[in-house]
């Protein structure tokens, strides 16, 4: 058996498991054509990519999101696609709360004022105390639930919008009541562009936007306008659209905005969990067993036919 060691996936993931018969192959076309398994980062997997790996049996996404993977194309070619939904939960939830606290307490602006030795630091500070404030969660899966638990522990009121939850409130109520809006939804046709100029205008004046989900859910230019107008207090973003932002993009030069490079899940512990879980999915598939985190179960029907 062979595995294609793709960009962003460390070799020790395979080196630890020689007993499974996996060896790493290089990224050039001739070598990857021999691969039977792929450990996938966030790079796109299209029809053309799948056709360039004709022996591929499983693509194991190291992470939750799989919007860069053409599931229909994979299914048509009999390729199993899996993810690691439990791996990044803790790390991403903690990163979300870190961004929320950093923006609410104006850490970026305060640190910049200190570097510039502006003085009069107390009178420039306009921090938001989070205890007693309302956190609105757009999406209430594993990460949203973990964020909710931390927020409630520090005394925040939590409301959610999620069609799968009985606790869900309308998106209009979420926007109107949240002091902090935190996004934890996947990028789908119904969520891409959801947080646009109208949605941002519906948010409370002086509120905060946090996005550790997918960049295209927020219309970037509309967010810049809402920040420039002073309608929003600030934003904390681990994902953007485009990603990464150009070095001269205004979001990277605002004191009330913190942007990190899509690394919320990338603690040492979180990365190790995701790698291990991805390997477990590959090992199951190559042993002829059904992976437990299969994203395209329809592929099993095509295998039977």
DSSP letter string over 178-199?
Answer: -SEEEE-----TTTTT-BSHHH
Nearest to 144 by CA among 180, 172, 177, 108: 180
Q: Element (H or E) spanning 60, and its range?
A: strand 58-61
Contact (Cβ atoms closer than 8 angstroms) between residue 235 and residue 209: yes
Q: How large is the average pLDDT for residues 38-65?
A: 89
Q: In the chain, what percentage of residues exceed pLDDT 90? A: 74
Nearest to 199 by CA among 220, 171, 167: 171
Task: Indicate where the chain has its CATH 3.40.50.720 domain(s).
Answer: 3-87+267-304, 89-259
Catalytic residues: 214, 243, 262
Whole-angstrom Cα distance, residue 141 to residue 201? Answer: 26
Which CATH superfamily groups domain 3-87+267-304? NAD(P)-binding Rossmann-like Domain (3.40.50.720)
pLDDT digits 0-9 by tens, 207-246: 999 999 999 999 999 999 999 999 999 999 999 999 999 9
| pLDDT reported for residue 219 | 98
CATH architecture of 89-259: 3-Layer(aba) Sandwich (3.40)
pLDDT digits 0-9 by tens, 98-138: 999 999 999 999 999 999 999 988 888 889 999 999 999 99
Q: pTM of this prediction?
A: 0.85
Whole-angstrom Cα distance, residue 236 to residue 213? Answer: 12
- What is the phi/psi pair of residue 69, to 5°? -105, 130
């Amino acid at each position: 058996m062979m595995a294609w060691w793709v960009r962003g996936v460390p070799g020790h993931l395979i080196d630890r498991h020689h007993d499974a018969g996996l060896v790493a192959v290089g990224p050039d076309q001739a070598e990857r054509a021999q691969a039977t398994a792929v450990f996938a980062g966030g790079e796109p997997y299209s029809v053309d990519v799948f056709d360039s790996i004709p022996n591929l049996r499983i693509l194991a996404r190291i992470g939750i999101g799989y919007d860069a993977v053409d599931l229909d194309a994979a299914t048509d070619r009999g390729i199993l696609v899996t993810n690691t939904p439990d791996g990044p939960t803790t790390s991403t939830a903690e990163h979300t709360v870190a961004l929320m606290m950093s923006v609410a307490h104006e850490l970026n602006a305060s640190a910049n004022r200190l570097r510039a030795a502006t003085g009069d630091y107390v009178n420039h500070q306009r921090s938001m105390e989070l205890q007693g404030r309302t956190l609105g969660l757009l999406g209430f899966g594993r990460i949203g639930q973990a964020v909710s638990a931390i927020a409630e522990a520090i005394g925040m009121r939590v409301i959610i919008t999620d069609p799968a939850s009985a606790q869900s409130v309308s998106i209009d109520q979420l926007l109107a009541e949240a002091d902090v809006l935190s996004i934890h939804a996947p990028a789908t046709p119904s969520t891409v562009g959801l947080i646009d100029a109208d949605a941002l205008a519906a948010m409370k004046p002086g509120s905060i936007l946090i996005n550790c989900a997918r960049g295209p859910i927020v219309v970037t230019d509309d967010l810049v306008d809402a920040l420039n107008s002073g309608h929003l207090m600030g934003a904390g973003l681990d994902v953007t659209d485009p990603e990464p932002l150009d070095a001269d993009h205004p979001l990277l030069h605002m004191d009330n905005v913190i942007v990190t490079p899509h690394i919320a899940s990338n603690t040492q512990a979180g990365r190790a969990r995701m790698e291990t879980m991805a390997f477990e999915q590959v090992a199951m598939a190559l042993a002829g067993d059904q992976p437990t985190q299969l994203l395209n179960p329809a592929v099993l029907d095509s295998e039977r036919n």
